[in-house]
Homo-oligomer: A and B are copies of this chain.
Amino acid sequence: MPATQYLKLDSPFRLRKGGELKELQLAYETWGELNTDKDNAILLFTGLSPSAHVSSSPKNQSPGWWEGMLGSEYPLDSDKYFIICVNSLGSCYGTTGPASINPGTKKRYGLDFPVLTLEDIAISTNEVVKFFGIESLHTVMGSSMGGMSALAYLVQFPKKARNFISISSALRAEPYAIALRSLQRELIRADKIWADGEYADDEQPVSGMQLARKLGMITYRSATEWRQRFGRERASERQGGAFGIEFDVESYLEAHAKKFTGQFDANCYLYLSRALDLFDVAEHGGSVAAALKKVEIERALVIGVMSDSLFPVHQQKEVADALGHVCDKVIFKALDSIQGHDSFLVDMDRFRPIMCDFLSSCKSPDCGEK
């Protein structure tokens, strides 16, 4: 990936819940040009599993995870903005994480990696912002876990962004989402190959990861979508013997689980998943209001989806209400997309016009629909 750039920190990086990382490396990509005033930058935090490759570019033409949302004439308009995306601390796409070599032991960190929080992700990401000499970000934003990381950024750097966009995110993890993630982690840990995190360098706990991915898919989508899409259609091919695949929805899950395999390191997944559970913006001062008290933003956009059961719409409303106390212009949109939590990835036609309006980007009437 020639588009990926790397920043190595000189000093050890201390984590919120203890421990430190030496020689921390951050992998990131940028799109567009930073202007002379260095005030046109958008910092984008990702969800749990994506890399920093948001969108294709001349340097890396492979499609990104938000292809169609970033680029010339798109909401995240690279003709106008300098867009930065950093692979989250704890992940495995170039940034230091549990799958990285611990310079102290010359072995992978594994479970020796310190407890990770979204606050740590936000602070480490800010090193890239500092590297570019940016003192005022046009916008800090994120979707899903990325929205929480963006909030963690906002409360820790309260004067550093002028605009804020939260998509399908939350002020804190609620017990239903914690339960689902806890079970996903248990499915990975129950795989013997995981071996308390000490699996071989060339062997991932694939079965456990596939089961966790299936549970993920069930919670990322919605019953309404699947009713319309699969109904009670039978799979074209039965697989897996007794109690194997019989219905279309079962072969869909199987195909998605297989696709995910090997793409993501199991320990990284566990750390990032737990970091989501641990997040509660109210920890910064004892209440949501106290956490946001010092935040100085001009405008905020909060988008949620009615069919999202993982980050339900009442949590989006909470984000909007909280931001309403520190900023006069908060736009809150609850969309009718039927694809649940994943809607921002697959129902982009609904998201684009709202983001274009907010970012005054892609003035063309077709709004990024190429």
Contact = CB atoms under 8 A, between A and B. Distances in A.
A187 B186 CA distance: 11
Q: How many copies does the complex hold?
A: 2
A215 interface: yes
Contacts of A173: 232
Contact of A174 (B177, B180, B226): B226
Q: Give the interface SS of chain A, mostly helix, strand, loop or mixed.
A: helix
A120 interface: no
A186 to B, nearest CB: 7
Which of A111, A179, A218, A231 has most chain B Cβ within 10 Å? A179
A359 interface: no
Interface stretch (A61-69, A81-89, A246-254): A246-254
Contact of A312 (B183, B190, B223): B223
A175 B277 contact: no
B179 A218 contact: yes
Nearest to A224: B176
Given A183-B214, A242-B111, A223 B190 contact: no
Interface string A176-192: 11111011011101100
A192 to B, nearest CB: 8
B231 A175 contact: yes
Interface string A227-243: 10111100000000111
Interface in A256-285: 270, 274, 277, 280
Contact of A249 (B178, B241, B247): B178
Interface of A: 111, 172-180, 182-183, 185-187, 189-190, 196-197, 207, 211, 214-215, 217-218, 222-223, 226-227, 229-232, 241-243, 246-250, 253, 270, 274, 277, 280, 309, 312
A178 B243 contact: no
4 closest A-B pairs by beta carbon, nearest first, are A176-B223, A175-B249, A175-B226, A175-B230
Given A176-B223, A226-B174, A248-B175, A218 B183 contact: yes
Given A211-B183, A243-B185, A277-B246, A176 B309 contact: no
B176 A247 contact: no
Given A174-B226, A176-B227, A178-B249, 7 more contacts: A174-B232, A175-B227, A175-B231, A178-B247, A179-B250, A180-B218, A196-B241
A179 B253 contact: yes
A362 B218 CA distance: 43
Contact of A227 (B174, B189, B309): B174
15 contacts: A175-B229, A176-B223, A176-B249, A178-B232, A179-B214, A179-B217, A179-B253, A182-B249, A183-B211, A183-B214, A183-B215, A187-B187, A215-B215, A223-B309, A309-B309
B196 A242 contact: yes
Which of A174, A187, A223 has most chain B Cβ within 10 Å? A223
A3 to B, nearest CB: 33
A309 B309 CA distance: 10
Nearest to A231: B175
Contacts of A230: 175
Which of A173, A218, A248 has most chain B Cβ within 10 Å? A218
